[in-house]
Structure 1
Amino acid sequence: MKFLPATKSNRWFIWMAVYGVFLWLLFILHRFVMMAHTLDVTLLLRFALFSIIVSGIVNVLAWFGARLLWLITTTGIIIGSVIMLSYTYREMSGWEDLAGFLAFFFFTCGGFALGLLAEAIRLLVKQWPKA
């Protein structure tokens, strides 16, 4: 994980902004390009807010030192994104947008939970008394 910034480095805030923009562009690609819905400013702002919140949580925790959490959550987001985008082309009679987003949300939350578990195990191993 040498590619990640150090703990409490100001570069994490740059990563947070870039991470949020990529998430926002992913949602725009899914909703307005692939699904060809009309452009809606309110929905654009909601996507931006959701992207900022997700990016903020993941990157601020990584700023505090939970770099393994960042890695596993990002992996969950990538897997969820691929599944969300693949659901776009299935004939689900109008449910592909909801099913895709729910799959994205499920894998994002699953990655976050696994990341928290991995960080807890890492912390326990680090604090374990040496015999």
Structure 2
Amino acid sequence: MKAINIKEKFSKFSKNWHPHQVAIVDDMQVILAKLKGEFVWHSHDNEDELFQVIKGTLYMQFRASSDEADSEGGIKTEVVNEGEFIVVPKGVEHNPTTKNNEEVHVLLFEKLNTAHTGNIQHERTQTEYPKI
């Protein structure tokens, strides 16, 4: 039982899209990640995900119905500012992105068995999260 300094933990890694585990709470894990650019469209069939923005602005894209879609055609984008969080429900296809070459720092809260990119295998898919 020790306080965890999030800024100090972020200083321990530099790679984008490579999550690092900082804590476990029951069957959930607390993850830190640095994001830059566009990730990969994916979903998690059985797990929700919580993304809290620690630094920067996250643009969470979702596949949308025709009445929800923005000008990108079939995509709805939710802007998540520093100090805010968003919950992505299980089964919802999503794609976290950043803009203007900004590096965004996020804290994620998800089940231990959550696959990084769901059923999608991609060059950015990580199978193990280093513990820091």
TM > 0.5 fold call:
no
Asked which structure has the greater CA Rg, the reply is 1
Band of TM-score, shorter chain: under 0.3
Q: TM-score, length-normalised on structure 2?
A: 0.22
Q: TM-score, length-normalised on structure 1?
A: 0.22
More strand by share: 2
More helix by share: 1
